[in-house]
């Protein structure tokens, strides 16, 4: 597991990948902010569903549902990926400090904190898929 390092330039860096509850996950550093993705298998009820039609309790909600994911500048993988980002109100964005004038700090997410949220999302995906 690599630690998230914020910067002002955009990039794609794989910070962590692994399995939880049978789902493969990816945590990426996009330079300005981190993101998280879960590969959804064809057998899951959320496979090929739009993220607006899915209620998954992740950081500020899902923002990604696509048939591919770039895990490096020139490395694309295929599947069905649901994802979310850490670039919302109160989150640090590498170059933008919206709360600095108020004397407030923005949240810099660690890879371990994101991994915990990913594990919770995987458990919820597994629970949802086994509902009748």
- Domain chopping of the chain, boundaries: 13-129
H or E element, residue 125:
helix 111-129
* Residue-averaged pLDDT of the chain: 92
The more confident residue out of 92 and 36 is 36
Percent of the chain surpassing pLDDT 70:
92
Calpha distance 132→128 (Å, rounded): 9
Model confidence over 20-46: pLDDT tens digits? 999 999 999 999 999 999 999 999 999
- The confidence band for 104, taking pLDDT boundaries of 50, 70 and 90, is low
Q: Residue 16 to residues 1, 29, 87, 101: CA-CA distances in angstroms?
A: 5, 10, 18, 34
CB atoms within 10 A of CB 46: 20
Work out the widest C-alpha separation in the chain, in whole angstroms: 50
Mean pLDDT confidence for 39-64: 96
Give this prediction's pTM.
Answer: 0.92
- The confidence band for 90, taking pLDDT boundaries of 50, 70 and 90, is confident
15, pLDDT greater than 90: yes
Contact criterion met (CB below 8 Å) for 104 and 91: no
CB atoms within 10 A of CB 104: 10
Beta strands 34-39 and 75-85: pairing type?
antiparallel
């Amino acid at each position: 597991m690599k630690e998230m390092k914020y910067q002002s330039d955009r990039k794609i860096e794989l910070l962590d990948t692994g399995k939880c509850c049978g789902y493969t996950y990816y945590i990426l550093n996009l330079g300005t902010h981190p993101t998280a993705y879960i590969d959804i298998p064809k057998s899951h009820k959320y496979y090929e569903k739009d993220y607006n039609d899915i209620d998954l309790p992740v950081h500020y909600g899902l923002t990604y549902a696509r048939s591919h994911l770039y895990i490096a500048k020139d490395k694309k993988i295929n599947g069905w990926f649901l994802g979310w980002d850490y670039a919302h109100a109160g989150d640090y964005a590498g170059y933008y400090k919206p709360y600095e004038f108020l004397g407030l700090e923005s949240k810099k997410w660690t890879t371990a904190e994101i991994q915990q949220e990913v594990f919770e999302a995987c458990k919820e995906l597994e629970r949802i898929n086994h509902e009748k």
